[in-house]
Chains A and B, each alone.
Chain A
């Protein structure tokens, strides 16, 4: 990351570019270097040739529109901060921009006050990036953040996102008082959040009404968690047999998903489970399937097709696909580096299937 923040402005209005280039480069305390592009293609070629901290994009551009630029920028440069600055007040474009992973969506300021707020928010974004670089961090960095917050006796709520799963850690006057995950709270939730290897997080204002459920000191909590992670890692490294067991049995795998499969298979209503690695030739882990190959093909093809479609329609990440048939219901979805397909009885309602699938994703992501 360059020492001096670099901002790239994309708009097809040259007067706008000149005005904002001057404003941002001369009136922000961090004195960023500001470059400008008047087409999406030009912006992408600049991003390719040099690193930027922040990309500010108008949506309504000729040829390649702003959503297309955002889709490519988010995929190719996950560390890049993205801001939409547009005249479009349509709620749908705001939703789609956030779904594509933008940090902020601004309507072009019309008053001095609005311009002041915009400048402040840009400064906050680029200075936060320069100081810390909190995006897609490893769990070690999350430990560092908790230690920092606790040492400085601060109060805040850390919101941590790992794929579709969202966790919260509540810190009050330098002590971790509670943690929360879907279907889990207190110390177990804290340990599970800390076991995540990737994700992103943000610091939010504290919740003074939060009831304390954790009474262990933060040092004790971090120590317990480190021990639990070490133990889990050593279990994973034990030698195991090849996978591919008959229906009803749980195949043993070298990456420690066997116990996870066992857990999921015990969940109410689950008829079969299939977990695939990201690569086509990676092993399948399954339970309750006589012949997993065609189901694996269906899972891969469905996810691949609908991911492609989502990118084409610019509607953000594919979350999951739910199918209903005369014999059973199925839920298919990505989960970190895995792809899951779960079978449920046809008697379950779509809401029950969706909730169960979300719980399974949470378990798997952890």
Chain B
């Protein structure tokens, strides 16, 4: 098995460009639809989906049910909406230019 998996190992994806777009998940975390390019690794979609669904579940358990979660990173914003036990998740890469423009708009 080890020999075969080494032979048929997929090409290394190298640097992954973060796309803007969305995908939907069912309640088991399976990807149902996606507007993201195929070049975006399926493992990333799975990882995002799992963490988002886990957070919705954990919030319900804590008696603070949530219908939407927005996750802010320095270079990415994720917006997830609960959808009948599953979710629709939007990926919004953030750029330095956008952040600078937002700060300028806020400035008095």
Contacts and interface: CB of A to CB of B under 8 A. Distances in A.
Given A312-B44, A330-B64, A91 B95 contact: yes
Interface residues of B, number: 35
B58 A317 contact: no
A67 interface: yes
Nearest to B82: A325
Contacts, number: 134
A314 B16 CA distance: 9
Could you say which interface size class chain A belongs to? Answer: 35 or more
B4 interface: no
Secondary structure dominating the interface of B: mixed
Contacts of B93: 92, 95, 315
A101 to B, nearest CB: 9
Contact of A324 (B47, B62, B67, B96): B67
Nearest to A65: B15
B96 A95 contact: yes
B107 interface: no
A297 B47 contact: no
Given A95-B93, A298-B58, A321-B72, 18 more contacts: A93-B15, A95-B95, A99-B75, A297-B62, A298-B55, A298-B59, A302-B55, A309-B51, A310-B73, A317-B74, A318-B71, A323-B64, A323-B66, A323-B70, A324-B67, A325-B64, A343-B64, A350-B70
A337 interface: no
B65 A317 contact: no
A88 interface: yes
Interface stretch (A18-26, A55-63, A114-122, A147-155): A55-63
A324 B70 CA distance: 9
Contacts of A319: 72-74
Interface string A88-104: 10111111101100000
